[in-house]
Each structure stands twice: as structure tokens, then as C-alpha cells.
Amino acid sequence: MKPMSLPRKSALTLAITLACLMMSGLKMHAAGDWVTLFNGKDLTGWKVPASNVFWKVVEGVLVGENDETLKGSMLYTEKSYQDFIFEADVRWEGDIDSGYMVRKPELQMQIGISSSLKRDMTCSFYTGGAERYPVAGQAKDVDKYLKPGQWNNIRLQAKGNTFTVWLNGHQVTEYTNEKYAGAAPIGLQIHPKVKMKVEFRNIRIKEL
């Protein structure tokens, strides 16, 4: 008995269907992959402030610097995120005050000197509440791993109610607070009333 063969049109339809299913599977798999948030050329994917004099791209590096009046600025992603791993290489010199801003209500992971505490709180969490820098959210052993004036890789994971930070591959902070639960854009900060310059490169994110 001869094996049955599909008509040419049916075979083509089946092949297209299988290809679509395979592509769909690839897309589902790719959803958890790293995505670049800064293309090294311009501010595509970011909400640029009106009359922007604060953020620019110089030789593939995102540079944030305040103006002559020491006005501050925030640069937010166009997209909102809830559970994710966000990281960037960050470089700065002097007493800057910057950070990653995440979730809603907004939670900040500090980079540089706290304007209120007058000491380095890099990789610690600032809540803006009564306990601005909760003890549980303060980084440990940062001085062991921080490379002043050089590129430092700072990774922040937001998963459920837990926020974890790695500095140059070393975990330095783990903070739990259920208050910061809403999805929101991720922000980079130039603090007002502080003469500062901060640089970012290799900015990327992985949604969880």
C-alpha cells in the first residue's frame, strides 16, 4: 500500500504553521534574554527632558551633568518594568550624588555621596521616608570592591519584594520591602545643587 502524501498546498500550509510555531517558541524563550537599553549613539528608548542640557552621548558613553545653576535632572526609560535585573557600567569622580530609580512608589539605589548623610552610600537604598537609608538596605563591604574613578559594574535585581545589588560581581546589598511593588520606568539621576558628572555604558536589562 502506497504511503499517503499531502497535496502540495496542504504541505506548504503545514510547513508555514510549523515555522510560525517554532518562531513563536523562540520569541517566548527570548523574553527573558538581556536587552540593551542604550545604543551608544543617542537617547532612543529614554524620555528626554525638555530643553535637555543634562544628558548627552560622548564616544558611546551616556554622560549626565548638571547645568551652571546646578539644576538636577532625571532620565527615565520609556518602558515600565516590575521584576528585572538591570545593570550598567558606571564611572564618576568626586562627590557625586546619583542612582538608579525603580518601582512605584519610587525606590532609589544610591551611587556616590548622600547629600543628607554626607558620606558614600553607593549601592544602598534610599526610600525618601522617615528612615531614609534603612539599615537593612545599606550596602556592606563596598570599599573592598569599588574602584574610584574607574568603570564599576553595578547590577540591581528587583524580584517580588526583594532588591539585591552586586558591585563588580560581589553581592553587597539585599533589601526586602513590600511597599515598592508597582511597575515603573527605570531612572538615572543627576542630583540638584551638586556639581557632578556621571557616566554610564553597557546599560541593559533582563525581565524576570
pLDDT tens per residue across span 24-72 = 443 333 558 999 999 999 999 999 998 899 999 999 999 999 999 999 9
For residue 30, tell me if it sits in a domain. Answer: no
For residue 132, tell me if it sits in a domain. Answer: yes
Burial (Cβ within 10 Å: 0-12, 13-18, ≥19) of residue 73: buried
**Given this model, what pLDDT does residue 130 score?**
84
pLDDT tens per residue across span 3-31 = 555 455 555 555 555 454 444 443 333 55
Supply the range of the domain harboring residue 80.
35-207
For residue 115, tell me if it sits in a domain. Answer: yes
| Mean pLDDT across 92-118 | 96
> What are residue 14's phi and psi, to 5 degrees?
-65, -40
* pLDDT higher than 70, residue 2: no
**Given this model, what pLDDT does residue 22 score?**
46
CATH of the domain at 144: 2.60.120.560
96 pLDDT band, cuts 50/70/90, is: very high
The pTM (predicted TM-score) of the whole model is 0.84
For residue 116, tell me if it sits in a domain. Answer: yes
Percent of the chain with pLDDT over 90: 81
The number of domains in the chain is 1
For residue 155, tell me if it sits in a domain. Answer: yes
Cβ atoms of residues 154 and 165 within 8 Å: yes
